[in-house]
């Protein structure tokens, strides 16, 4: 029964399987305990008891997964996404909560859009990287820092339409409240931009004949999505669409390369590398985690799951700081990048306006000079008094003790410099100069 739901009706989409099973229960269906276990496992907690399944269903679809629907007569079109306020988890329904769209007719659901599933986040420490010696790496791609757009054929409208990860084309949030218009209205700003680009570039013509497929794209704005720009402030022509991947009507998810061979459109970057050993993979992960220019990479493995192939996201812990330097001239982020050995790159990211880059270069030199003196200051035990004198955050006292125990002066310097930084690059310069002068004076009086 569950296998039939999975393959014949739901195209491998776990949300559809759960909703279909729930509808069967409400119609009076008496399932075998093993069926209940199989379906409930998609919610993250296997059970053979129907009442426990019902309780878990309510918990997941009210607290963890958002379900937004639009109605036309006795038909409902619903989109499912993960609640952004909930901690990310990794069970099948959670992985598929990335904009799955179901069409309910008389309460019975079917899949009309099944975008790419969620990847496991390696930075959050939520997953184990699989060994390439055991499971081959199928593809590595770079993330375009934009917004997910799903193109699917809408059977109610009889045309291809875009949706976002969270809402349909006729939905948008205003002041935190969801606004829903009629199905024919295209009010979502991201969907409107994507629709304009699809018309302008002939994408809709290329999608003709692929009804039943789902195509996931990334909409790139003039500013990185990590900055949460107001997309309505820009001209539509300033945006770009990049193909991420395609999913067949039977649910099989193609790679980026396979998808790009179907549609002759720009796609997300494919890393032309071969990873066959764990040592090679670890070396790449270490480099990617400190990339200033790419937000993350996706490692897709060649496992046996056609619907949710095991995919790991390796995020850069420095990308956000690099973006803050480039777009906001953030002195704090500049100092953080300098502390990781990227002083020259950080200075070059600053806008070449007036003396910004010169001041940025001076900030970096001040940081390195402070770092040189910190070791002596730890030995002389003068940092505690100095931190209190300059009214710096109390958390630094704990960092001082940690540095004294471990000898990690670099971490202490990074934390100290970040606490001295303000929103102004010039004021930050003055504060670093003041701290350095006070530090030198204290060291001179104790020697």
Residue-wise pLDDT tens digits, 341-380: 999 999 999 998 889 999 999 999 999 999 988 888 877 6
pLDDT one-digit tens code per residue, 280-339: 999 999 999 999 999 999 999 998 899 999 999 999 999 999 999 999 999 999 999 999
Average pLDDT over residues 91-97: 97
Residue 127: the pLDDT is: 61
**Residues whose CB is less than 8 angstroms from the CB of residue 270 and which lie 6 or more positions away in sequence, other chains included:** 139, 140, 141, 142, 256, 257
Closest CA to 311 of 213, 191, 216: 216
Angle at 244 between CA 239 and CA 249, to 5 degrees: 125
Confidence of residue 442 (pLDDT cuts 50, 70, 90): confident
- Four-CA torsion 337, 340, 343, 346, nearest 10 degrees: -30
Helix (H) or strand (E) holding 339: helix 331-339
pLDDT one-digit tens code per residue, 264-285: 999 999 999 999 999 999 999 9
Both tokens of 150, joined, read 């799903």
Gap between the Cα atoms of 303 and 322, Å rounded: 35
Average pLDDT over residues 419-430: 94
Percent of the chain with pLDDT over 70: 97
pLDDT one-digit tens code per residue, 154-202: 999 999 999 999 999 999 999 889 999 999 999 999 999 999 999 999 9
Question: Is the per-residue pLDDT at 207 higher than 60?
Answer: yes
Domain residue extents for the chain: 1-112, 319-446
β-strands 75-82, 98-105: how paired? antiparallel
Residue 148: the pLDDT is: 98
Gap between the Cα atoms of 52 and 101, Å rounded: 26
Gap between the Cα atoms of 311 and 130, Å rounded: 10
Do 296 and 316 touch, CB atoms closer than 8 A?
A: yes
pLDDT one-digit tens code per residue, 208-267: 999 999 999 999 999 999 999 999 999 999 999 999 999 999 999 999 999 999 999 999
Both tokens of 201, joined, read 């570039």
**pTM exceeds 0.85 for this model:** yes
Question: Is the per-residue pLDDT at 108 higher than 80?
Answer: yes
Average pLDDT over residues 45-59: 96
Q: Give the residue ranges of DSSP H helices in 176-298.
A: 189-200, 203-207, 256-262, 278-288
Question: Is the per-residue pLDDT at 5 higher than 90?
Answer: no
**Residues whose CB is less than 8 angstroms from the CB of residue 216 and which lie 6 or more positions away in sequence, other chains included:** 115, 116, 148, 149, 150, 151, 243, 244, 245, 246, 247
Residue 320: the pLDDT is: 97
Residue 304: the pLDDT is: 87
pLDDT one-digit tens code per residue, 55-85: 999 999 999 999 999 999 889 999 999 999 9
């Amino acid at each position: 029964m569950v296998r039939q739901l999975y393959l014949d009706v739901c195209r491998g989409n776990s949300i559809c399987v759960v909703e279909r099973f729930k509808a069967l229960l409400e119609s009076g269906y008496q399932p075998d305990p093993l069926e209940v276990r199989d379906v409930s496992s998609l919610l993250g907690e296997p059970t053979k008891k129907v009442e426990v399944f019902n309780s878990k269903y309510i918990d997941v679809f009210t607290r963890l997964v958002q379900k937004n629907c639009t109605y036309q007569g006795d038909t409902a079109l619903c989109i499912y996404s993960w609640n952004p306020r909930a901690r990310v988890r990794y069970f099948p329904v959670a992985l598929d909560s990335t904009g799955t769209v179901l069409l309910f007719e008389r309460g019975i659901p079917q899949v009309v859009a099944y975008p790419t599933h969620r990847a496991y986040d390696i930075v959050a420490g939520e997953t184990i990287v699989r060994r390439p010696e055991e499971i081959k790496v199928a593809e590595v791609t770079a993330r375009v820092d934009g917004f997910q757009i799903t193109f699917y054929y809408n059977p109610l409208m009889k045309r291809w339409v875009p949706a976002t990860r969270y809402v349909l084309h006729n939905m948008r949030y205003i002041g935190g409240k969801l606004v829903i218009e009629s199905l024919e209205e295209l009010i979502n700003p991201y969907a409107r931009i994507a629709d304009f680009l699809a018309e302008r570039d002939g994408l809709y013509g290329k999608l003709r004949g692929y009804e039943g497929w789902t195509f996931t794209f990334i909409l790139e704005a003039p500013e990185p999505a990590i900055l949460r720009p107001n997309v309505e402030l820009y001209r539509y022509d300033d945006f770009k669409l990049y193909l991420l991947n395609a999913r067949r009507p039977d649910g099989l998810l193609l790679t980026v390369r396979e998808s790009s061979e179907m549609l002759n459109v720009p796609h997300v970057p494919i890393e032309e590398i071969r990873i066959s050993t764990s040592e090679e993979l670890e070396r790449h992960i270490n480099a990617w985690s400190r990339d200033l220019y790419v937000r993350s990479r996706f490692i897709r493995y060649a496992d046996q799951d056609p619907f949710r192939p095991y995919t790991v996201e390796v995020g850069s812990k420095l990308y956000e700081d690099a973006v803050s330097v480039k777009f906001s001239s953030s002195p704090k982020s500049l100092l953080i990048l300098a502390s990781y050995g990227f002083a020259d790159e950080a200075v070059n990211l600053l806008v070449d306006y007036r003396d910004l880059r010169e001041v940025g270069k001076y900030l970096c030199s001040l940081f390195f000079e402070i770092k040189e003196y910190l070791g002596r200051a730890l030995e002389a035990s003068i940092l505690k008094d100095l931190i209190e004198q300059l009214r710096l955050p109390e958390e630094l006292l704990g960092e001082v003790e940690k540095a004294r125990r471990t000898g990690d002066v670099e971490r202490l310097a990074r934390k100290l410099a970040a606490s001295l930084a303000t929103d102004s690059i010039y004021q930050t310069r003055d504060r670093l100069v003041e701290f350095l002068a006070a530090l030198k004076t204290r060291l001179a009086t104790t020697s």
